[in-house]
Structure 1
Amino acid sequence: MIRLLLRGDDFGGSLSANQAIAEACEHGLLKNVSVMAPGPYLEQGALLLADCKEICFGMHITMNAEWDRVKWKPVLPANQVPSLIDEQGYFLAHPSLMGKVNLEEAIAETLAQYNRLREVGFRISYVDEHMFFSYSVKGYAEWLDAWCRREGLINFHRYFRPLPRAAEAAAGSPAETVDLAQIYLSDHRQDIQSAPEGLYTVILHPGLDSEEMRQFGNAEISGEQIAAERDAERRMLLVPDLATFYSQYDVTSVRYDELEERN
């Protein structure tokens, strides 16, 4: 049997992500949603999903803002976390730029993000990291693990085991006529069929192919490609054949908090 922690990241980061993730959750396969406290649409996301007891919510700890035109600021005032921000007050663009981040400031911002999520109504069961930034902040990973244990939260690292790739990842382009959702579905099926029994994490970023999502992007990837790929992930989760395939191959979509209950 294969168990999958299907996780939808960046909830609260855009209206397009909020709508796409909510739609995927309604179809029943996506059961874990990681929420960005600094996201500009956090409150709108809370109105959509915070009361949904079928979803396991996590804190998507955000300490960087990687896009050129879409940026996030800390929850805390800038004068309390100066090492986390650039000259405009936004998070630094990439974890590789965070080598001089002050550990105490990173801890303070983490706690502020956690409190903010609870203030708007989210019941947080697990925590994970936007772009796996903790490697850049000395001592942060150790602190996070200890804090999760004290708070009764699940550190995603405890169960993080990516689903092995059997097929080469598809590289999509809005100019192509191929259906990226079908390509992603085919690749996912191959990955499942070749994987040994066990528990795996599949990180997804469902979105809409919208003008808003096309504002995302940087020198490495265009906003048009991001929008196309994230919309394809959304549509893949909605394809009825995916649930049928899971049933045929004894694949179960599980929640983080279900794993803790079994242990």
Structure 2
Amino acid sequence: MKLITNGDDFGITRAANFGIIDCYKDGILKSCSMMVNMPGAEHAAQLMKEYPDFSVGIHLNLTVGKPLLKTHKTLLKEDGTFNKGMLKDSEHVDVEEIRAELYAQVEKYIALTGKVPDHLNSHHGIEMIKGAEAIVCELSKKYDLPVRRFFTLPKGDHPEVDYKIPLMKFDGGSLGELSTPKSLTELYTKEEIESEDIFEFALHPGYVDYEIFQISSLTVGRAYDAHVFLCEEAKQWVEDNHIELIDYRDIPKK
């Protein structure tokens, strides 16, 4: 079994950033994904320079915070922040506004870091918004990047993506619950562990600061997620089961 361990929301706040870096330095975390429109994005980019081997993708976002572009009319609430309600009802959405914003986010990542992201994934499964899935596929082809499994797919590869898509399971913190080591160590069957398949396990590791309470409903749960990546139980599980930890740079094309 090959396993990508990924931490979402890099860049959301400084405390979350420090937690993700600790999980990389001292735990089993191999990659993360950055939100470039959030307050901690520049800090995250600085940390990347200190840890150049850490694999960082982009966490494409249409549901939290303010957009990079100021011209949107159909993606926002009255206060100027993204309208998360688009995940359930997006008939009113202008797809060209989505395209412009997501392309701007990738270019902002490049401007901050000096390189293209290692992979694309989405915050809250934005591919469920009308037109967003096709645009993520466009970005994958334009920048030649692998993609996390879409929420719109049950399992398997996407015909418009050139890379193999890892199998993904959701448990613990990814489902809004408090994660524990069992969220990882009891998630996979013996057959899956012994297979040659590629899986991804993603949580939202981080530490808690004042800013996170202003931005996100996921607060102390981030510290639980960090514990999963840092704990000795997870490290031992990887060793005992001969798990090969990889990141998205190791994903092959089809």
Decide: shared fold, TM above 0.5.
yes
- Residue of 68, 79, 90 corresponding to 1:88: 79
- Cα offsets for 1:103-126 (capped at 9, x unmatched): 111111011111111111153121
1:257 is matched with: 249
1:50 shift after superposition: 4.0
Moved more, 141-150 or 103-112: 141-150
**Partner SS, residue 192 of structure 1:** coil
42 and 244 in structure 1: CA distance in 2 versus 1, 3 angstrom threshold: same
1:42 is matched with: 41
Map of 1:103-252 to 2, 5 A cutoff? 103-121=95-113, 123=115, 124-138=117-131, 140-157=132-149, 158-163=164-169, 171-172=177-178, 184-194=180-190, 196=192, 197=195, 198-216=197-215, 223=217, 226-252=218-244
What letter is aligned with 1:128? N
% same residue: 19
**Partner SS, residue 21 of structure 1:** helix
> 2:6 and 2:114 mapped to 1: Cα distance?
16
Consecutive unaligned residues in structure 2, runs of 5 or more = 150-163
132 and 165 in structure 1: CA distance in 2 versus 1, 3 angstrom threshold: closer
**Partner SS, residue 156 of structure 1:** coil
- Cα offsets for 1:146-172 (capped at 9, x unmatched): 331232111223424223769xx8954
187 and 35 in structure 1: CA distance in 2 versus 1, 3 angstrom threshold: closer
1:69 is matched with: none
1:76 shift after superposition: 0.9
> 2:78 and 2:84 mapped to 1: Cα distance?
12
What number of residue pairs does the alignment pair up? 233
26 and 9 in structure 1: CA distance in 2 versus 1, 3 angstrom threshold: same
> 2:127 and 2:43 mapped to 1: Cα distance?
28
170 and 204 in structure 1: CA distance in 2 versus 1, 3 angstrom threshold: closer
**Partner SS, residue 6 of structure 1:** strand
187 and 108 in structure 1: CA distance in 2 versus 1, 3 angstrom threshold: closer
106 and 251 in structure 1: CA distance in 2 versus 1, 3 angstrom threshold: same
> 2:105 and 2:33 mapped to 1: Cα distance?
12
1:20 shift after superposition: 0.6
State the TM-score, normalizing by the size of structure 1: 0.79
1:51 shift after superposition: 5.0
State the TM-score, normalizing by the size of structure 2: 0.82
- Tell me how large the CA RMSD over aligned residues is: 2.4
The answer to whether the Cα contact below 8 Å between 2:16 and 2:208 also exists between their aligned partners in 1 is: no
1:253 shift after superposition: 1.5
- Cα offsets for 1:87-111 (capped at 9, x unmatched): 1111002322433221111111011
1:185 shift after superposition: 0.6
2:69 is matched with: 76
- Residue of 86, 94, 109 corresponding to 1:102: 94
